[in-house]
Structure 1
Amino acid sequence: MQEQAELDVLKLVAGAKKQEYTALLRKHMAEYGMQDIADVGRLAQELADGDPFIAAALIPIVQEFARQTARDVRDFGRGLEYER
């Protein structure tokens, strides 16, 4: 019975560590993702160089990049299971 209790405690600690590391990685991904989105936005602005036609063509690309980056950060770690 004591062995089972010790095993349960170890599983709880491992689960907490997994959640902590996943949250830390998600935080870093969010920070870097935000920087990437800003960089892509600046690049699109630079490429458009004031041309409204080019800007209109680039805006959906930048928006989709931002949406996908947010989705990747949000979904990171889902489906990862820690079991031994």
Structure 2
Amino acid sequence: MNSKSTHKPIHIHKKSGEIAVFLPEKVRESLKRAGADTETINAIVASVKSELYEGISTKEIYNRAFRLLKKKSSLQASRYKLKKAIYEL
């Protein structure tokens, strides 16, 4: 029996309409830029990954990560939301 588990990639819908493969590294980097510590980042990424489904939007992924980050640190969540606000301008 193979000890490595193979995971089917999850496809996400980007705001542009493009379909892409979910990359946890992107969530990890955005949380890191918001100032989250490694433990918090790992917990949030694991939680978000467990809630993924085929065709989920990047907006929904962001909302889930933001909600979890806000529970840990409102300051870091504010930074995370600020990036989104600037991007939307």
TM-score computed with the length of structure 1 as normaliser: 0.31
Structure number with higher relative contact order (C-alpha < 8 Å, ≥ 6 residues apart) = 1
Larger strand fraction of residues: 2
Highest Rg: 1 or 2? 1
Larger helix fraction of residues: 1
